[in-house]
Chains A and B, each alone.
Chain A
Amino acid sequence: MTTLIEAPPSDADGLMPTKKKSSGGGLGQYILIRFLLIFPTILILVTLVFFLMRITGDPITAALGGRLPPEQLAERIHSAGYDRPIFVQYFEYLGQLITGNFGTTLSDNRQVSEMLTTYGAATLELSINALLVALVVGIPLGMVAAHRRDKAPDAVLRIFAILCYATPVFFAGMLLKLTFSVWLGWLPVAGRAKTSTELALTALSAPTGIYWLDSLRSGNMAALGDVTAHAVLPAVALGLLTAGIFLRLVRTNVIGTLGKDYVEAGRSRGVSEYRLVTKHAYKPALIPIITVMGLQIAVMLGGAVLTETTFEWKGLGFQLATYLTARDFVAVQGIVVLLAVIVAVTNFIVDIVAALIDPRVRY
């Protein structure tokens, strides 16, 4: 007689694992399912990347082929174990990944895991800066565009958004460099900091690798200024790409909520238009932005590869480009796998945040 009982549905669902979609499912259950879904995603990507990279041959031939005599090449392949069956290598690789061992780079003989932690901080710093730029530029402009819908500011902002999307980050970066570094001479051309600053910051005990955090901790204001000056152009170049997307998203959603009854009610009570846009219509429009932000992380990581190359920002993307040129596919594979993990985890976090804000999202 379970149909008659309108008891807390979450308990009932817990007892029925075969039921695929729980009508009122608890948040805890949703988080757990969503968390478990991370692993197949990562596994699929790792598997795809591993086998795709091996179709071309073993990494040693790719990196050193033609530069070593065949006997030496064969010996190195044998000692690295690349002549064994591919599935043996695959499961060995998976086992190594679980213990955090990504292998050793071929071109400069470093631990891939060590390389990832060294340069990951730089990419993290760039992404945070760029995300800040995107939010600061995109959200207010989106509200302006929605408020002045179909008027001149809206038209200008929509074109701005299209230009943001249409300009490749490396071209935007090049234009910014030309204007602000070469012609005006206001900002440094490339790099994360001056050599002296870099030395001072790496000499710190337990550096985080995030330069502005390190210079703040050590109270080194000259370093902070230098780091900020270096960070501006890359952050703007990468941030504008996402700012355009945020702008359109905020515009669309604010336009949607501006027509709702409760906004009309507020207007009739004499709430100012400014307050209506910034408070009443804006908050519900934020939910889709959080969802899209998860996707934007992936876009941003892809963009970071190009931005870092443009500005010689020594992060994962810069290293990736370097290792690609050196044809060091062990290192490339390590970076790609790490990025896959980052994307999967951020999507998980974004989904949880979205579920916390909006109960309708939960399974």
Chain B
Amino acid sequence: MSTESTIAAENRREPWFRRLPVVSHFNKSVGLQRGMLVTGLILTAIFLLTAVFAPLIAPYGFAQISDADGGFPAQQAPGGKHLLGTTVGGYDVFSRVVWGAQTAAMVIVVAVIMSIFIGVILGLVSGYIGGWLDRILVVIADAVYAFPSLLVAIVMAIVISGGRSSLWGGILAAAISITVVFIPQYFRVIRAETIRLKAEPFVESAKVVGASNVRIMTRHIYRNATRTLPLIFTLNASEAILTLAGLGFLGFGIEPTSAAEWGFDLNKALSDTTSGIWWTGVFPGLAIVLTVVGLTLVGESINDLNDPRLRGRKKASGKAGTNIAGSNAAGPGPATAAPTAEVSTS
């Protein structure tokens, strides 16, 4: 993945396999923390492998409602030919769950890469140049950030595709909708770091030596400001899955004939629940939960391991990690909360 290579490039001292973010984190971890990291990695690996090898794993296509033996029965209970049963429309639930992993992975990769790219550039420029440009960008980012992210995504989905579309159109629409939600987050983090770094002596000395603004931004500040990105990446990947599922659940997903999408399947399963048909909804739902748990565990462990005060040690964990208010922890709540607290105090 691209983030791994950026990180690897940062640190030139150790052999390459030790520099990889996850490997180095694994070596630092002990006990419960290692358990959480490993669980997260396993879940994430299952998700990624399922996404990549979906055509091999899934017994049927995502839109297939019949095979050589004839049409699939509707709402068949799990077991036999259909491992996890079939839906009201005759789709095979297991196949759709597997294909759904592929859709989710594509959307995440496109969305997070786009938002990192745009967010980082805007954050660097805004923080480094400052002035009126900075003020306008901050006000807009704050307004978008404070707004319910699902609604931002809905508005964007309307703009891009008028609601629904084909496989790539749908993936792109969902990805762009999610991107717009996340740009403010990257923007804020990078901008805050840039402003802090701008005052550092090494930037000043670069200026004295005669480095251009672009060079200072891309070489001196960028390298230092993007250290927290892998963390935000994993946390946002999980949020991207939830946003995609939310969009799909509201009917803004991708048409069932062009791709499988977990949120859309849950929406269709909603009416089944009252008649006690559970398999159409429970399995795509579990797929979402397990994927998000996996990504969150990885992100959270990386976060804890990056912070020496939170890093578990074999014995001396008694007083470590005190006096850190909202910043340390763990996950979406405080991680998203911290920037606001910062804004309201500044």
Asked if A231 is at the interface (CB within 8 A of a chain B CB), the reply is no
- Compute how far the CA of A248 lies from the CA of B267 in the bound complex, rounded to whole angstroms: 30
Nearest residue (CB) in A for B35 is A155
User: What 1/0 flags go to B185-199 for Cβ under 8 Å of A?
Assistant: 000000000000000
Indicate the size class of the contact surface on chain B: 35 or more
Residues of chain B with a CB closer than 8 A to A48's CB: 140, 143-144, 155
Q: Are B325 and A256 in contact (CB under 8 A)?
A: yes
User: Which residue among B156, B278, B289 has the maximum number of chain A CB atoms within 10 Å of its CB?
Assistant: B289
In the complex, A329→B273 CA distance in Å? 30
Q: Looking at the complex, which one of B158, B328, B330 makes contact with A332 (CB distance below 8 Å)?
A: B158
A189, closest chain B residue (CB): B274
Once A53-B159, A166-B292, A291-B344 are accepted as A-B contacts, the answer to whether A306 and B249 lie under 8 Å apart by CB is yes
Does B156 contact A295, Cβ atoms closer than 8 Å? no
Contact check, A175 vs B155: say whether CB atoms are below 8 A apart.
no
Q: Are B249 and A44 in contact (CB under 8 A)?
A: no
Question: What are the residues of chain B within 8 A of A52 when measuring CB–CB?
Answer: 155-156, 158-159
Cross-chain contact A168 with B245 (CB below 8 angstroms):
yes
Q: Which of the residues B251, B288, B293, B336 comes within 8 Å of A295, measured between beta carbons?
A: B336
Query: What are the residues of chain B within 8 A of A40 when measuring CB–CB?
Result: 139, 143
Q: Which label, helix, strand, loop or mixed, suits the secondary structure of the B interface? A: helix
Q: Does B285 contact A (CB under 8 A)?
A: yes
A 78-137 contacts with B by CB, 8 A = none
B341 on the interface (CB 8 Å rule)?
yes
Contact present for B266 and A174 (CB under 8 Å):
yes
Q: Are B249 and A168 in contact (CB under 8 A)?
A: yes
Is A321's CB under 8 angstroms from B263's CB? no
Instruction: Find the residue from A162, A299, A301 having the highest chain B CB count within 10 A.
Output: A162
Q: Is A295's CB under 8 angstroms from B274's CB? A: no
Contact call B344/A361, Cβ cutoff below 8 A: yes
Q: Which residues from 312 to 346 on chain B have a C-beta closer than 8 Å to any C-beta of chain A?
A: 312, 317, 319, 321-326, 328-334, 336-337, 340-341, 344-345
Q: Is the CB of B344 within 8 A of A354?
A: yes
In chain B, positions 257-315 with a C-beta closer than 8 Å to chain A are 263, 266-267, 269-270, 273-276, 278, 281-282, 285, 288-289, 292-293, 296-297, 300, 312
Q: Is A200 an interface residue (CB 8 A)?
A: no
A218 interface contact, C-beta 8 A? no
Given A52-B155, A292-B337; A327-B147 close (CB under 8 Å): no
Whether A171 contacts B334 by the Cβ 8 Å rule is no
A248, B325: Cβ atoms closer than 8 Å: no
Residues of A within 8 A of B275 (CB): 182
Q: Which residue of A lies closest to B290 (CB)?
A: A166
* B333–A244 CB distance below 8 A: yes
Query: Contact: A171 with B328, CB < 8 Å?
Result: no
Say yes or no: B325 contacts A253, CB within 8 Å: yes
Asked if B32 lies at the interface with its beta carbon under 8 angstroms from chain A, I say yes
Contact check, B331 vs A165: say whether CB atoms are below 8 A apart: yes
Of chain A, the residue at the smallest CB distance from B278 is: A178
- Which residue of chain A is the closest to B340 with respect to CB atoms? A295
Contact of B32 among A56, A150, A162 (CB under 8 A): A150
Asked if A347 and B324 make an inter-chain contact with CB atoms under 8 angstroms apart, the answer reads no
Indicate whether A336 sits within 8 Å of B246 (C-beta atoms), given known contacts A167-B289, A168-B288, A327-B163. Answer: no
**Is residue B94 contacting chain A, with contact meaning CB distance below 8 A?**
no
Chain B 206-248 interface residues, beta-carbon cutoff 8 Å to A? 238, 242, 245-246
Nearest chain A CB to B265 CB, angstrom units: 11
Given A44-B139, A155-B32, A305-B150, A245 contacting B159 (CB threshold 8 A): no
Contact residues of A between 294 and 334, Cβ < 8 Å to B: 294-295, 298-299, 301-303, 305-306, 309-310, 320-321, 324-325, 327, 329, 332
Residues A252 and B325 in contact, CB atoms below 8 Å apart: yes
Decide: B326 and A288 in contact? CB cutoff 8 A.
yes
Once A44-B140, A249-B334 are accepted as A-B contacts, the answer to whether A298 and B146 lie under 8 Å apart by CB is yes
How far is the CB of B79 from the nearest CB of chain A, in Å? 19
Binary per-residue interface labels of chain A (266-304) against chain B in the complex, 1 for a CB within 8 Å, 0 otherwise: 000000000000000000000010011011001101110
Known: A168-B246, A332-B158. A288 touches B325 (CB 8 A): yes
B201 interface residue, CB < 8 Å from A? no
Among B245, B263, B270, chain A packs the most CB atoms within 10 A around the CB of B270
Residues A360 and B270 in contact in the complex (CB < 8 Å), given A168-B285, A245-B332: no
**A170 — which chain B residues lie within 8 A by C-beta?**
245-246, 249, 263, 266-267, 270
Decide: A309 near B148, CB < 8 A? Known: A163-B293, A249-B333, A291-B337.
no
Q: Which of B142-198 contact A (CB under 8 A)?
A: 142-144, 146-151, 154-156, 158-159, 162-163
A306-B150 contact, Cβ under 8 Å, with A45-B143, A174-B281, A332-B158: yes
B250 on the A face (CB < 8 A): yes
Contact indicator A360/B326 (Cβ below 8 Å): no
| Chain A residue contacts of B139, Cβ below 8 A | 40-41, 44
Chain B residues in 8 Å Cβ range of A299? 148-149
> B249 and A177: CB pair below 8 A?
no
- For chain A, residues 147 to 175, give those with C-beta under 8 angstroms from any C-beta of chain B: 150, 155, 158, 161-163, 165-168, 170-171, 174-175
A248 touches B317 (CB 8 A): no
Q: Are B146 and A347 neighbours in the complex by a CB distance under 8 Å?
A: yes
- One of A2-10, A11-19, A206-214, A337-345 contacting the partner: A337-345
CA distance A88 to B276 in the complex (A): 54
- Contact pick for A324, options B252, B276, B322, CB 8 Å: B252
In the assembled complex, which residues on chain B have CB atoms less than 8 Å from the CB atom of A292?
326, 333-334, 337, 340-341
Inter-chain CA distance A321–B332, complex, in Å, is 26
- Note all chain A residues with C-beta closer than 8 A to B330: 158, 248, 252
- B148 and A249: CB pair below 8 A? no
| Alpha-carbon gap, A215 to B329, bound state (A) | 43
| Residue A143 CB within 8 A of the other chain | no
Q: Evaluate whether A248 and B155 lie within 8 angstroms (CB atoms) in the complex, with A255-B321, A302-B150 already known.
A: no
Q: How far is the CA of A344 from the CA of B163 in the complex (A)?
A: 27
Q: B273 contacts A182, CB within 8 Å?
A: yes
Which A residues form the contact surface with B (CB < 8 A)?
Answer: 40-41, 44-45, 48-49, 52-53, 55-56, 62, 150, 155, 158, 161-163, 165-168, 170-171, 174-175, 177-178, 181-183, 189-190, 244-246, 248-249, 252-253, 255-256, 258-260, 288, 291-292, 294-295, 298-299, 301-303, 305-306, 309-310, 320-321, 324-325, 327, 329, 332, 336, 339-340, 343-344, 347, 351, 354, 360-361
Question: 6 A–B contact pairs at CB < 8 A?
Answer: A44-B139, A150-B317, A165-B333, A170-B246, A245-B333, A253-B326
